[in-house]
Amino acid sequence: MAVEVSAPAKAILFGEHAVVYRKPAIAIPLSDLRARAVVRPASDGITISAKDFGKRYNITHSPIREGQEGYALQQAVLKTLEHIGVKPQDLVLEIKSDIPIASGLGSGAAVATAIVKAVAKFHGKELTDDNVNKIVYEIEQIHHGTPSGIDNTTIVYERPVYFKKRVWFLPNKTKHLKVGATMHFVIADTGIRAETKGIVADVRSAWKADKKTFNRLFNDIKKITKKARKALKNGSAEEVGKLMNENHALLEKMGVSSPEINALVQAARKAGAYGSKMSGAGRGGNIITIVPARKLEAVVSALKRVGAEHVYTTTLRKTS
Ligand code: MEV
């Protein structure tokens, strides 16, 4: 029998990049934007079909080598099989995703999450979220080198998180976010694709070259993220917006924004958003903006007018 599993995209609200240096960050799942994995029985080993890219790999007959396209997909399947420890069945795994790649929305982690859950389920095993998260983090390392783990954690648990990476032998600190009032966000895509791995590596080089400046930037971001956690808890959207603006200014100083990102950030603010910032690794990808409900339409139109490729809205619901 075929099984189908999906996983959401994510957006970072506060603390990207600084989170790699063990500062706290806040992220939310984007439940309307998803990656899907469908597994069907087959008779010729294991085939992975990435329809969006027109690619098909039979990994039983032609294993994909490290560094080659499709390697992370193959590893998600193999690591799951290794983890569940059953005799692999012949199967076709079809992957479809609505999440734009290399745009800061966690498409790699969402695809990997859907694969891990679907392959386990197809073999009659249900993995705990903790176990899925461990496997997906290993796949993130293939994509990103030194990921903090915030993307996979937000996506696997599909919950807003306050996250802090810890040293390798301690579990990361993951707290589910408390939200005091329902808040509205708009996410807009510059249409420029940028690989997280390279940007994170550039930040590392810049940090090594000038630790004093970068440690100060990371610490200032940490203070903002902590204040944002309180503002979210108190339900103060206006304060959240102000803090997003401050976080964006620090990311600009870090050298990870771009003129295209800044154009969207400014357009949202001008159209009545409480605040806006880049989201994710930067140099392209998406911005996120917090908007009063009455201004949603105006902000969406303004972002489209200045050339956003896709515009999504999402709601962060008040927690009980
Ligand atoms: C990528 O979505 C967020 C970064 O902070 C990298 C990471 O946390 O692994 C830029």
Taking the C-alpha atoms of residue 48 and residue 23, their distance in angstroms, rounded to an integer, is 37
For ligand 1, whether the C-beta of 6 sits within 6 Å is no
Q: Burial of 235 by CB count in 10 Å (0-12 exposed, 13-18 middle, 19+ buried)?
A: middle
CATH number for the domain formed by residue range(s) 3-176: 3.30.230.10
Tokens standing for residue 232: 């979210």
Rounded to the nearest 10 degrees, how much is the dihedral formed by the CA atoms of 257, 200, 19, 232? 30
Q: Looking at the chain, which residues constitute the CATH 3.30.70.890 domain(s)?
A: 183-316
Distance 20 CA to ligand 1 centre (A): 7
Give the nearest ligand 1 atom to 150 CA: 8
Tens-place pLDDT, residues 261-318: 999 999 999 999 999 999 999 999 999 999 999 999 999 999 999 999 999 999 999 9
pLDDT classification of 167: cutoffs 50, 70, 90: confident
Distance 149 CA to ligand 1 centre (A): 8
CA-based radius of gyration for the chain: 20
Q: Whose CA is nearest to atom 10 of ligand 1?
A: 281
Contacts of 157 (CB under 8 A, 6+ apart): 129, 133, 174, 176
HEC letters along 76-109: HHHHHHHHHCCCCCCEEEEEEECCCCCCCCCHHH
Query: Is 151 one of the annotated active-site residues of the chain?
Result: yes
Q: How many CA atoms lie within 13 A of 53 on its CB side?
A: 15
pLDDT classification of 144: cutoffs 50, 70, 90: confident
b/e code 158-176 from CB counts within 10 Å (16+ = b)? bbbbbbbbeeeeeebebee
Distance 200 CA to ligand 1 centre (A): 7
Tens-place pLDDT, residues 221-273: 999 999 999 999 999 999 999 999 999 999 999 999 999 999 999 999 999 99
Cβ pair 84, 118 in contact under 8 A: no
Q: Looking at the chain, which residues constitute the CATH 3.30.230.10 domain(s)?
A: 3-176
Give the nearest ligand 1 atom to 140 CA: 9
Q: 33: helix, coil or strand?
A: strand
Mutate-to-test residue for ligand 1 from 196, 250, 287, highest number of ligand atoms within 8 A of CB:
196
For ligand 1, whether the C-beta of 151 sits within 6 Å is yes
Cβ pair 51, 96 in contact under 8 A: yes
Note the helical H segments in the chain.
Answer: 71-84, 107-122, 129-144, 150-157, 196-209, 211-234, 237-254, 259-270, 296-305
Q: Whose CA is nearest to atom 2 of ligand 1?
A: 280
Tens-place pLDDT, residues 198-223: 999 999 999 999 999 999 999 999 99
Average pLDDT over residues 7-36: 97
For ligand 1, whether the C-beta of 20 sits within 6 Å is yes
pLDDT of residue 52: 82
Which one-letter DSSP state was computed for residue 284? Answer: S
Question: Looking at 44, 129, 130, 151, which residue is catalytic?
Answer: 151
Give the nearest ligand 1 atom to 12 CA: 2
Pairing mode, if any, of strands 25-41 and 3-14?
Answer: antiparallel
Distance 12 CA to ligand 1 centre (A): 8
Taking the C-alpha atoms of residue 253 and residue 315, their distance in angstroms, rounded to an integer, is 29
Average pLDDT over residues 89-118: 96
Classify domain 183-316 by CATH architecture.
2-Layer Sandwich (3.30)
For ligand 1, whether the C-beta of 19 sits within 6 Å is yes
For ligand 1, whether the C-beta of 16 sits within 6 Å is yes
Q: Whose CA is nearest to atom 9 of ligand 1?
A: 147
Mutate-to-test residue for ligand 1 from 10, 13, 17, 105, highest number of ligand atoms within 8 A of CB:
17
In sequence order, the β-bridge partners of residue 34 are 8
In sequence order, the β-bridge partners of residue 313 are 186
Mutate-to-test residue for ligand 1 from 20, 133, 197, highest number of ligand atoms within 8 A of CB:
20
